[in-house]
Structure 1
Amino acid sequence: MKAPRRPIQAAATWLRRQPPKVKAFLAVISGMAALVLLRAIVHDHDNLFVAAEAVHSIGIAVLIYKLMKEKTCAGLSLKSQELTAIFLAVRLYCSFVMEYDIHTVLDLATLATTLWVVYMIRFNLRSSYMEDKDNIALYYVVVPCAVIALVVHPSTSHHVVNRIAWAFCVYLEAVSVLPQLRVMQNTKIVEPFTAHYVFALGVARFLSCAHWVLQVLDTRGHLLVALGYGLWPSMVLISEIVQTFILADFCYYYVKSVFGGQLVLRLPSGVV
């Protein structure tokens, strides 16, 4: 006699059997429901952006724990960490010259820890680095972001170099996780600490995306005008949405794995 399946397992089995269009529809509905909930319980939506940066910092802390405890960087993408350090450094520069606030402090702390992770992977734990799996060339990511930033950037009163730098860090942040996802795609097995880190990135991206969407709704679109004219306001929102959807598939399998009691996440073909 078969043991009765738990409701979550039954729901996961049902969802897995649905066609892609149904899954996409359910994902959109779930995202909208989450936005409605956040709008109801979070009164100052700027706190969502602070929360996103805090969750990102927690993800970095998980990586540091992994490196210190297990003495291995297997499964981690050095290139993702380098891209993260680049966009954080550029954003930190923009914060100093354009606006100095709590985000500047959070970015400084996150940059310092990210640089420490880069140092550990590149020097102390180089022997365990899976260089053959981390095979996305950085210029494939950096150059397109720089070109787009030259064409589409804010139309504020700041110096044009600062406006281009601001746009560059927004675009680079949106795709900085791609090398890490490529490593996981190549290995198909993701150990717990790496999975926790990428899931934290997914949560941070959703909170950041929710911040921008709710801000636009609260201001009835006036925020888009405040950001400038032309394509830039739309590109900010698109970048946030792209980041969220890039990580959405992984986060689904992460949650499914956690509720299934699996310590190691095994990704099916085609994921990330």
Structure 2
Amino acid sequence: MRGTKRPIHAVTTWFRRQPPKMKVFVAVLSGMVALLFLRMVVHDHDKLFVFAEAVHAIGIAVLIYKLTQEKTCAGISLKSQELTAMFLAVRLYCSFVMEYDIHTFLDFATLGTTAWVIYMIRFKLKATYMDEKDNFAIYYVVIPCALLSFAIHPSTSHHIFNRICWAFCVYLEAVSVVPQLRVMQNTKIVEPFTAHYVFALGVSRFFSCAHWIIQVLDTRGRVLTVLGYGLWPSMVLLSEIVQTFILADFCYYYVQSVLGGQLVLRLPSGVV
């Protein structure tokens, strides 16, 4: 086991010592290698969406376990959960009126569990809620997302209100995890279950982002025309990439902590 840890430790030590530009280059190169690997291994690229949803479900299960067994919501951002419920509710509405399918059921199930988490934090476990740490003003993301959805939205044949709602939930999903990252930035110490949950979100976002990028490459960009014209298709892809990069830094420190055998994740200054 020590023989395995030594090369990993050497790589992580080398990476930490590199300047920011080199770290970005290595991160982008690693992402490209991972995308190439998925493209070769996963022949039905739609399965990447299934993987993303499965990992997300695992993350929610970890969160539910923390709330029910540990009897604490310390380290969990109520505002992130509220933003998640908001974009899921809007997306569920869009699913009903625009494209009723299996994802409608999955969104309904996710919204239900998210609403339960919000209830537990607000009422059952209120005494353990870190209100002073969860200090991100959500209107900083809700208002810009709303304005952006009015300016850039799908150019499909659906009613304009539905198209704006669709755009709003896409943009809001991309930044819904920001309050959770702020809580972890304020505390600097992340207990295991919260870290597992956020890492699951990061992996889920990567699979979802990989699906879109691979689809664009395989169809030489034609898949984007299915979503409409103008800036909207590019904004969908950009939103997926933004979600992935927002969580990338945290995921790096999470993996480093796990490989180092640490149960509690300690974040250095400047992370997230």
Please tell me the TM-score bracket, short chain as reference: over 0.9
Amino acid across the alignment from 1:44 = D
Partner of 2:168: 168
Partner of 1:181: 181
Instruction: After TM superposition, give the deviation of residue 186 of structure 1 in Å.
Output: 0.2
Tell me the percent identity: 79
Name the SS for the 1:6 alignment partner: helix
What is the rounded CA distance, in whole Å, between the counterparts of 1:113 and 1:64 in structure 2? 8
Instruction: After TM superposition, give the deviation of residue 50 of structure 1 in Å.
Output: 2.1
What is the rounded CA distance, in whole Å, between the counterparts of 1:142 and 1:170 in structure 2? 12
What is the rounded CA distance, in whole Å, between the counterparts of 2:49 and 2:151 in structure 1? 26
Name the SS for the 2:216 alignment partner: helix
Name the SS for the 2:226 alignment partner: helix
How is 1:122-141 mapped onto 2 (pairs within 5 angstroms)?
A: 122-141=122-141
Name the SS for the 1:227 alignment partner: coil
TM-score by length of 1: 0.97
What is the rounded CA distance, in whole Å, between the counterparts of 1:16 and 1:183 in structure 2? 24
Q: CA-to-partner distance for each residue in 1:192-234, whole Å, 9 max, x for gaps?
A: 0000000000001100100111111111111122211111011
What is the rounded CA distance, in whole Å, between the counterparts of 2:199 and 2:110 in structure 1? 17
Q: Is the 8 A contact 1:50 1:103 kept in 2?
A: no
What is the rounded CA distance, in whole Å, between the counterparts of 2:44 and 2:23 in structure 1? 32
Amino acid across the alignment from 2:125 = L
What is the rounded CA distance, in whole Å, between the counterparts of 1:147 and 1:136 in structure 2? 19
Partner of 2:22: 22
Q: CA-to-partner distance for each residue in 1:76-101, whole Å, 9 max, x for gaps?
A: 00000000011111111111111122
How is 1:52-91 mapped onto 2 (pairs within 5 angstroms)?
A: 52-91=52-91
Name the SS for the 1:155 alignment partner: coil
Name the SS for the 1:72 alignment partner: coil
Name the SS for the 1:97 alignment partner: helix
Instruction: After TM superposition, give the deviation of residue 102 of structure 1 in Å.
Output: 1.7
Q: Which runs of 5+ in 1 are unaligned?
A: none
Large movers: runs of 4+ above 4 Å: none
Q: Is the 8 A contact 1:174 1:240 kept in 2?
A: yes
Q: CA-to-partner distance for each residue in 1:107-145, whole Å, 9 max, x for gaps?
A: 111111111000000000001100110001121111110
Instruction: After TM superposition, give the deviation of residue 53 of structure 1 in Å.
Output: 1.7
Amino acid across the alignment from 2:20 = P
Q: CA-to-partner distance for each residue in 1:159-183, whole Å, 9 max, x for gaps?
A: 1111000000000000000000000
Amino acid across the alignment from 1:121 = I
Determine if the alignment matches structure 1 residue 37 to structure 2 residue 4. no
Aligned-residue Cα RMSD (Å) equals: 1.1
How is 1:149-168 mapped onto 2 (pairs within 5 angstroms)?
A: 149-168=149-168
What is the rounded CA distance, in whole Å, between the counterparts of 1:55 and 1:108 in structure 2? 17
What is the rounded CA distance, in whole Å, between the counterparts of 2:43 and 2:146 in structure 1? 36
What is the rounded CA distance, in whole Å, between the counterparts of 1:106 and 1:257 in structure 2? 32
TM-score by length of 2: 0.97
Partner of 1:146: 146
